[in-house]
Structure formats: C-alpha cells, structure tokens
Chains A and B, each alone.
Chain A
Amino acid sequence: MAVGAASKAAVQAGARTRAGSKVKRNQVPYAVAVIAVVAVIGIWLGGQKPVLGLTWIFGILFGFVLQRSRFCFTASLRDPVLTGSTSLTKGVIIAFAVATAGFAAIQYSAVLKGAEKIPGFISPVGIHIAIGATMFGIGMVIAGGCASGTLMRMGEGFAMQWIAIIGFMGGSLWGAHDFGWWSAHFFQNSPAIHLPSVLGWPVAVFGQLLLLGILYWLADRYEQKRTTFLS
C-alpha cells in the first residue's frame, strides 16, 4: 500500500521514480520569491516610465516562453544539417509567419495614416549582412546559444552562458567601435529595402507567407527523408 501511495505521489510530482533516484526538492517557494521581486521591480519601473514596465513584462514573458518550449533558434538552423531534425525549424517558421502577418498589418496601417517612416526593423542590405550573419551563425553554434538563447540559459543556471555573455558584450563593443568604419565603407552605399514598398503589398505579404509555407513543407519532407535513410 505504501508503495502504491508513493508512486501515485510521484506521478503527481511529475515523474516516475526508480529505486536509487535522488531526492528532488520543491523549488516553487524560490519561484514565488522571484515573482515577488519581478513584481516589485515591474511596479517601480512602470512608475518611472510606463514603457519600461511594459518591456519588463515582455522580457519576462519571452524568457518564460523560450524556456518552457525549449525554443532554440540556434538548433533550428543547426540541426537540419547536423542531426536531420527540423522540428525546431518548423517552429521558427511558424513564429515568422505569425509575426509577418501582424507586422504587415501594423506597417500597412501606419502607411495609411501617412507615416513618414515605415515602422519595424528595416536596415541597409549589403555584404556586411552576409559577413555579420555568418559570423553570428558560427558564434552561436560554438557558444551553445544565440542572443535569446544565451539570456535564457543564464537564467537556467548555465555557467557557460555567463561566460558567453562576456564575449558577447566585448564583441558588441568592438563592433560598436568599428561601426563608423563599416558605415562609411558599406552602410552608406547600401539601400534599405522594404519589400512591400518595392513589390507592392499583396505580392510582398502573400509572397512571404507563401515562401514560409513552402519552407515549412520542405523542412517536413527533408526530415522524413533524412530519418528513413538513417534507420
């Protein structure tokens, strides 16, 4: 009877236990303490400036969702070649598609209201993107996490990411230092191209969503092929 009750309790605690498992601690009290700290800081920040309280909450939510879903942008780009898995790739495509739709609505309504500058992140495109993105891709794989991944893993207790952030900060400062040089030699001669402004809204928006859909389907087919070949 005692065994039955113990294993039922274990199911409630969320895990089966085999003989020899370590005693697990309940960390929820610590979570409550963190919630209290988060709330206090949030209220203080909101009092300083509402947008600060807002970005604080968004940060918490982003971190929470990233960790809960083990969402790793690094793996979405690395795994298709390294392990043949595209499940995260598909998750990223879903995120892109959802965001595209919402961003299109935000941008379009801004244009309708006569906005001078289209809202969003629209930056000069040129060889600097190729170089920088390649550097970033290499870096994120060997560091064990990208920008969001590094922050997430700092919160999860990975000492490695507490080291990575130091390199990240140093590289950022170095890049900020060289930014003027890159600007003079590359950015100034590179156009910022907003696809809907060039291709027209219907073509650009539906074209992008269609492309994402095709990439999703390709990712799915690719994983099936790679997996059947291996087994």
Chain B
Amino acid sequence: MSSETREATGINYRKLFKDPWPYWLGGLLLGFLNILMFTTTGSPWGVTTAFAHWAAWIYQAVGGSVSNWAFYQGANGKALAAGFWSNAQSIQNLGIILGALLATLLASQFKFKKIKHWRQVVAALVGGVLMGYGARIAFGCNIGAFFSGTASMSLHGWVYTLFIFLGAYLGSKLLVRYLL
C-alpha cells in the first residue's frame, strides 16, 4: 500500500471511528433507528422499564416479592417471570452499553474514569433515584417519554418536554451550587 493510500485510509478511519460525528448526524441516525425499531419490533425505543425489572430481580433474589404490586400485574409480570435473557429491553440496554464500549475501543479512546470526590457518589445516587422514580410515574425517561412519546404525537410527550426542561433548569442550579 502506498503511503498516500495509507494516509487516506487513515484519515477515513479517523472520521469514521475517532473524531466525533456532528450532532445533526447523531440526531438524524437516532431518529431513523427509532423508526426502524418501531416498524420491526412493534414498539418505539424505550429504556427505563427494564431498570425496574433489574431491581425487581435483585429484590426477589434477596427474598422480596413484587407479585401483588399493581405495576407487576399483566405484561410486566410476565416479562419479569420470563427473566433477563428473554426481556427485549434488558437485552437492548446491555447492547447500548456494549455499543458505546465498542465505539470507544475502535477509537482507542477507552479509559476507566474513577470517582474523583464523594460528592459525585451522592449526586449519582440521588440523581439516579430521581430519574428512576420520575420515569415510572411519568411513563418514561428522556427516550421513552421525551423522545418516543413526543414522536408518537402523544400530548404526554409534549407535557414531558416542558417539564424535563424545567427540571434540567432546577438541576443546573443545584449543580452549580453544590457540585462545581
């Protein structure tokens, strides 16, 4: 291979796998992927229902029971009984983790980033709990409700949009005050 070819392929590898893609391209692709997912699986993209299942499986493993919870009647109950490897969303979420890992490794940009201060631990836990609870009562997260709900032209999606924006504003105030 001539050095020009090696350089040209090098630059293409860089654009494909190393340099960040523009945001508009990410948005375009995510929109298309969501449509594709909707057509082929019957449901649009969602992320957080699986998190409840993961926690429920752990809860059951340590002796807890969710069988008389309203949330775990019907479809959710069946999904829980079928287990992780039969749950489409759990599989998808594991795929998201690995897809991101793969992208990072192909760019040779993987680095394990340790916790820097204890405030990060508190913020991550408190923030996580808020997101988990909020997503249950609002029928979704930034993906299931904000993205897919709005794209489904459901009014709840637009209401979600307004209030997730408000929440982000409030969260920013907390961030600057306590975490900067």
Chain A residues within CB distance 8 Å of chain B: 8, 11-14, 24-28, 30-31, 34-35, 37-38, 45, 48-49, 51-52, 54-71, 73-74, 77-78, 81-82, 87-88, 90-100, 102-104, 106-107, 119-125, 128-144, 146-161, 163-180, 182-183, 186, 192-196, 204-205, 208
Contacts and interface: CB of A to CB of B under 8 A. Distances in A.
Contact of B127 (A11, A130, A142): A142
Contacts of A120: 38, 44, 148, 151-154
Q: Which 10 A-B pairs have the closest CB atoms?
A: A137-B167, A59-B95, A167-B128, A171-B132, A63-B99, A143-B127, A132-B138, A175-B136, A69-B26, A98-B31
B55 to A, nearest CB: 4
A19 to B, nearest CB: 21
A217 to B, nearest CB: 15
Interface in B110-155: 110-115, 120-121, 123-155
Contacts of A125: 154-156, 159
Contact of B133 (A97, A123, A161, A174): A174
Interface of B: 3, 6-7, 10-11, 13-14, 17-48, 51-52, 54-56, 58-59, 66, 69-72, 76, 85-86, 88-89, 91-115, 120-121, 123-157, 159-172, 174-176, 179
A133 B41 CA distance: 26
A164 B136 CA distance: 16
Contact of A132 (B26, B88, B114, B134): B134
A136 B170 contact: no
28 contacts: A11-B11, A14-B10, A27-B104, A58-B45, A60-B98, A77-B165, A98-B27, A98-B31, A99-B30, A103-B153, A119-B38, A123-B139, A124-B156, A128-B138, A129-B138, A129-B160, A133-B167, A135-B131, A137-B134, A138-B130, A143-B123, A146-B143, A149-B142, A150-B128, A151-B96, A156-B113, A164-B124, A176-B56
A84 B84 CA distance: 42
Contacts of A95: 26-28, 30-31, 34, 147
A13 B42 CA distance: 42
Contact of B153 (A68, A92, A170, A196): A196
A137 B165 contact: yes
